[in-house]
């Protein structure tokens, strides 16, 4: 018996099953694996820059600005990529909806891996002068455009190949790439951070960037054998592709686009507090070893990988909205206790604080982003809609998070303002998720 499903445009009930066809398809497991491997490598490159921007770049590329301003400017270069992520979402979303998902995924992976490798070779300010930070920013911009196009395609490959009513279960695979990439980047950087300062700042920080070339080859190999998703193949055969997806998006799906642009506000702010600003807070405000924060993020990312599948499967049973709402409420309630645990200056409690924040609070939201975004749009504008809304949300809420947190603590001398900042973002997220249409039983094949 077929369970009732909602029409993705009207929200009305329907029992229609997706049409079958003889075109080549991917197994859900293979599509999930391709999504996981590719996004893990993309996020590895992306987060590696964030950690090094907090610990290394202020000294090697922005030292002439002083420690505080140098750190803020370095973190601002990390945020530059966020501004261009919606641009990548629009560009690759357009061609992904017009030409297909697969080619866009391989292109974005090559762009990200190439830019990361070149950062590992980039001379310092002392060696190249002012051109060094300029080139650093340019390469960061390439990373932003690449990730902006990557996420939407990876979400669609996993979600559109998943069985009906199991899109959360399979869709979480590409979202596991976020903590997976964080795990790889923090793990490698944490190992090299154990080197004496002279060696670490001379060459140690470069090695994880250079290793991206090897990881890039793995990602391209895994993705190259994919076929287009059944949804897009049906669209091609019917010659029903949108001529200008972005225009159609705002003409026919403005409401979900706006809501999805703000729904991640709380989880995004909290995430970059845990993964980027924590290194600054632990080293500069608490005066503790940098390895404590890096290893703490490593542990927290490991916990998040274990808990995300639980929340994804739960969303297939009770819906996306209640699970996502739990995340926003939990993160708001945890905003002050996180700093209370960190301020103990005890290594164990710092690790516990990060593990709870990522492994419970952020995990419940992050696990759902693939299906949550993809299910809100019809196939013909899904790449553009999901990619643009997701990346615009990151630009608005995630980009300034670490910089704002640093500025708030420097201005007030207290972490309380940062906690209130997190709570404000969570309130916005909760309102948006309650206004979104529930889609966990919707038919998205049309």
CATH assignment at residue 414: 1.20.1250.20
pLDDT 10s digits, 38-77: 888 878 887 788 778 878 888 888 887 877 788 778 877 8
Structure tokens at 186: 């923090």
119-123, 178-182, 260-264: lowest mean pLDDT where? 178-182
Instruction: Report the alpha-carbon distance of residue 30 to residue 435 in Å, rounded.
Output: 34
The answer as to whether 445 is a domain residue is no
pLDDT 10s digits, 388-432: 999 999 889 987 888 899 889 888 888 999 999 999 999 999 999
Number of other CB atoms surrounding residue 19 within 10 Å: 9
Question: What percent of the chain shows pLDDT beyond 70?
Answer: 94
User: Is it the case that residue 94 has pLDDT exceeding 70?
Assistant: yes
Total residues belonging to the chain: 446
Structure tokens at 221: 């190999």
The answer as to whether 86 is a domain residue is yes
The answer as to whether 21 is a domain residue is no
Could you list the residue range(s) of the whole structural domain that residue 33 is in? Answer: 27-223+231-435
The answer as to whether 126 is a domain residue is yes
Q: For the chain, how many structural domains are there in total? A: 1
Instruction: Report the alpha-carbon distance of residue 389 to residue 368 in Å, rounded.
Output: 15
Number of other CB atoms surrounding residue 315 within 10 Å: 25
The answer as to whether 89 is a domain residue is yes
The answer as to whether 403 is a domain residue is yes
CB-based contact 156:386 (threshold 8 Å): yes
Specify the pLDDT at position 66. Answer: 77
In sequence order, the 6+-apart residues with CB closer than 8 A to the CB of 318 are none
The answer as to whether 14 is a domain residue is no
Instruction: Report the alpha-carbon distance of residue 358 to residue 380 in Å, rounded.
Output: 34
The answer as to whether 424 is a domain residue is yes
């Amino acid at each position: 018996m077929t369970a009732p499903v909602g029409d993705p445009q009207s929200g009305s009930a329907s029992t229609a099953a997706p049409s079958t066809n003889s075109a080549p398809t991917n197994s859900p497991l293979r599509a999930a694996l391709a999504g996981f491997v590719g996004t893990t490598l993309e996020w590895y490159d992306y987060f590696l820059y964030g950690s090094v921007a907090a610990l290394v770049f202020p000294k090697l590329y922005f030292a002439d600005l002083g420690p505080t301003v140098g750190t803020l400017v370095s973190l601002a270069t990390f945020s530059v990529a966020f501004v261009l992520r919606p641009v990548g979402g629009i560009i690759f979303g357009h061609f992904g909806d017009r030409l297909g998902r697969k080619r866009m995924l391989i292109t974005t992976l090559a762009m990200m891996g190439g830019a990361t490798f070149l950062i590992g070779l980039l001379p310092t300010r002392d060696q190249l002068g002012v051109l060094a930070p300029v080139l650093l920013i340019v390469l960061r911009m390439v990373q932003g455009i690449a990730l902006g196009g990557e996420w939407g395609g990876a979400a669609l490959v996993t979600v559109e190949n998943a069985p009906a009513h199991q899109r959360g279960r399979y869709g979480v695979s590409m979202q596991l790439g976020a903590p997976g990439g964080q795990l790889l980047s923090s793990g490698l950087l944490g190992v090299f951070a154990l080197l004496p300062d002279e060696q670490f700042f001379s060459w140690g920080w470069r090695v994880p960037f250079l290793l991206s070339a090897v990881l890039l080859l793995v990602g391209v190999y895994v993705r190259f054998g994919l076929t287009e998703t059944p949804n897009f193949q049906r669209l091609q055969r019917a010659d029903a592709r949108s001529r200008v997806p972005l225009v159609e998006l705002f003409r026919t799906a403005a409401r979900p686009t706006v809501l999805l642009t703000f729904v991640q506000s709380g989880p995004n702010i909290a995430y970059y507090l845990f993964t980027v600003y924590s290194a600054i807070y632990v080293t500069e405000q608490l005066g503790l070893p940098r390895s404590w924060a890096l290893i703490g993020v490593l542990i927290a990312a490991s916990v998040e990988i274990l808990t995300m599948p639980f929340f994804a499967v739960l969303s297939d049973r009770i819906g996306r909205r209640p699970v996502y709402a739990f995340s926003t409420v939990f993160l708001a309630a945890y905003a002050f206790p996180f700093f209370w645990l960190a301020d103990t200056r005890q290594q164990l409690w710092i690790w516990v604080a990060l593990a709870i924040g990522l492994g419970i609070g952020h995990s419940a939201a992050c696990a759902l982003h693939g299906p949550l975004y993809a299910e809100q749009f019809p196939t013909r504008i899904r790449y553009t809609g999901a990619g643009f809304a997701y990346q615009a949300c990151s630009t608005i809420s995630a980009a300034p998070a670490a910089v704002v947190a640093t500025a708030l603590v420097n201005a007030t001398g207290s972490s309380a303002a940062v906690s209130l900042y997190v709570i404000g973002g969570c309130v916005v997220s909760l309102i948006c998720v309650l206004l979104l249409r529930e889609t966990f039983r919707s038919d998205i094949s049309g």
